[in-house]
Amino acid sequence: GESVGLHLPTLSVQEGDNSIINCAYSNSASDYFIWYKQESGKGPQFIIDIRSNMDKRQGQRVTVLLNKTVKHLSLQIAATQPGDSAVYFCAETDSGGGADGLTFGKGTHLIIQP
Amino acid sequence: NAGVTQTPKFRVLKTGQSMTLLCAQDMNHEYMYWYRQDPGMGLRLIHYSVGEGTTAKGEVPDGYNVSRLKKQNFLLGLESAAPSQTSVYFCASSYGSSEQYFGPGTRLTVT
């Protein structure tokens, strides 16, 4: 299948600053996108999702932006906190293609500097 | 709700041994999945199921078998373990093609 990838493997930000994590995807049929957070030794945890009929969605301190023209997805975390340190994965699926799971990017390790 | 649970949490096998990983969910989800996670590789889908009694192959199915005899359980079997199957295994479940809920993982080492 087509791959989903991330631009940077590691992102280091100061506590309190905003973080932006980027993701590129190549499957033009993808219509559902999710961001997951994975802390060390734990399973991925859902953060926020967005469908292809939207270009922005906001949650608590997080915003996901989708640019279908350039097949780009980003996760913005406002006022980062130490608890935000984790690996962040974007994932995509073509929901019309059946339940064959999500295609994950390789992840970005977000490090929060005190 | 316990969500998605996995047993065991850790296991060490010798090459050629067999084992079964158990996944259970209490959210009445129809869809269940098994992924493996390797360093630098992200999560890759092994097998999945869209309902009780049905299973399908994912991206990396070789060397694994699965069964979904009950809606709430999804079993992953390794008939003859190989060192290449050393990995962290995650189970997930969902309402159809939407947000997937993940278990805590099983760390398997094959020597």
Reported as a single tens digit per residue, the pLDDT across A5-49 is 544 589 999 999 999 999 999 888 899 999 999 998 899 999 999
pLDDT of residue A6: 45
Query: How far is it, in rounded angstroms, from Cα A96 to Cα B27?
Result: 23
Q: For an interface test with A, give the residue of B30, B54, B97, B99 to mutate (most A CBs within 10 A).
A: B97
Query: Looking at this protein, which amino acid is placed at residue A3?
Result: S
* Contact between chains at A46 and B105 (C-beta distance less than 8 A): no
Q: What angle do CA B25, A39, A59 make, to 5 degrees?
A: 80
Reported as a single tens digit per residue, the pLDDT across B3-59 is 999 999 999 999 999 999 999 999 999 999 999 999 877 899 999 999 999 999 998
Query: How far is it, in rounded angstroms, from Cα B45 to Cα B37?
Result: 9
Q: Could you please report the per-residue DSSP string of B12-80? A: EE-TT--EEEEEEESS--SEEEEEEEETTTEEEEEEEEEETTEEEE-SS-TT-EEE-SSTTEEEEEESS
- The phi and psi torsions of B85 (rounded to 5 degrees) equal -95, 5
pLDDT of residue A33: 93
Q: How far is B48 from chain A (nearest CA, A)?
A: 7
Of A46, A95, A107, the CB nearest to B97: A95
pLDDT of residue B96: 77
Query: What does the DSSP 8-state code read for residue B85?
Result: G
pLDDT band at residue A104 using 50, 70 and 90 as cut-offs: confident
Is the CB of B44 inside 8 Å of chain A's CB atoms? Answer: yes
Q: How far is A84 from chain B (nearest CA, A)?
A: 18
Closest residue in B to A43 (Cα) is B104
Query: Looking at this protein, which amino acid is placed at residue A60?
Result: Q
Query: Looking at this protein, which amino acid is placed at residue A110?
Result: L
pLDDT of residue A96: 61
According to DSSP, the residues that pair with A10 across neighbouring strands are: A109
Of A45, A101, A106, the CB nearest to B48: A101
Q: Which of residues 21-40 of B touch A (CB under 8 A)?
A: 31, 33, 35, 40
Query: How far is it, in rounded angstroms, from Cα B54 to Cα A82?
Result: 42
Q: What angle do CA B10, A84, B37 make, to 5 degrees?
A: 35
Query: How far is it, in rounded angstroms, from Cα A39 to Cα B11?
Result: 21
Of B42, B48, B105, the CB nearest to A100: B48
Torsion sign across C-alpha atoms B46, B72, B25, A4: positive
Q: Which of residues 55-84 of B touch A (CB under 8 A)?
A: 56, 58-59
Query: How far is it, in rounded angstroms, from Cα B74 to Cα B51?
Result: 10
